[in-house]
Amino acid sequence: MSTRVIALALLAFVLGFIFLMASVTWLVRDPLPIVGANQTLLLHSVEIQPQIRTAVAIDGGYRVDLTLTHDGAQDPHALLRPAGGQPIALDAGTDSAGAWSAAGQMTQPGRWELVLTEGTAREVIAFIVRE
């Protein structure tokens, strides 16, 4: 009798653990995008319309290049900062196609925020930079 109780308790524990691991997909609704060295992350605005599309390209030395593609009537600007920190210095300008572009040096891996501003509208898009 006691071996059956132990077996049922062990079975309940294993099934409970499996259910807990499977439930993570329901608990994490909107995971942050992750980008690493020598990769490009494509982001787009949700609250600012017409949509602003952003390419965040990071090289092997964690130098970042931002490119904002936008509607011709828009005049967007962007800041890049560690979560809750001060923005990093960006050398910004427009390219020949009218897209806003900037370059700067990231200071640390971890959670970062891209702050898009267009007129009075402001949107913060978070992402993670891995080592």
Mean pLDDT by 10 residues, the chain (131 residues): 90 93 78 90 90 92 91 84 92 79 92 92 93 85
Rounded to whole angstroms, how far apart are CA atoms 87 and 125? 14
- Cα 69 to Cα 54: distance, rounded to the nearest angstrom: 6
Q: Report yes or no: 123 and 48 within 8 Å, Cβ to Cβ.
A: yes
Domain CATH for 122: 2.60.40.10
Q: Is residue 80 domain-shared with residue 108, that is, in the same domain?
A: yes
Predicted pLDDT at 53:
92
* Residue 92: per-residue pLDDT: 86
Domain enclosing residue 7, as ranges: 1-31
Instruction: List, in order, residues 6 or more apart from 118 with CB less than 8 Å away.
Output: 48, 52, 70, 74, 75, 76, 77
Contact in structure between 86 and 73 (CB atoms under 8 Å): no
Indicate the number of domains in the chain: 2
pTM assigned to the model = 0.75
Whether residue 108 is found in the same domain as residue 60: yes
Per-residue HEC secondary structure of 70-123 comes to CCCCCCCEEEEEECCCCCCCCEEEECCCCCEEEEEECCCCEEEEEEEEECCEEE
Do 62 and 119 fall into the same domain? yes
Does 10 share its domain with 71? no
pLDDT at position 25: 76
What separation in angstroms does the CA of 100 have from each of 14, 21, 68, 114?
A: 54, 43, 5, 14
Q: Which of 39, 107, 112 is nearest to 80 (CA)?
A: 112
Please check whether residues 13 and 59 belong to one and the same domain. Answer: no
If asked whether residues 25 and 52 sit together in one domain, one would say no
Q: What is the DSSP letter of 29?
A: -
The answer to whether residues 4 and 63 belong to one domain is no
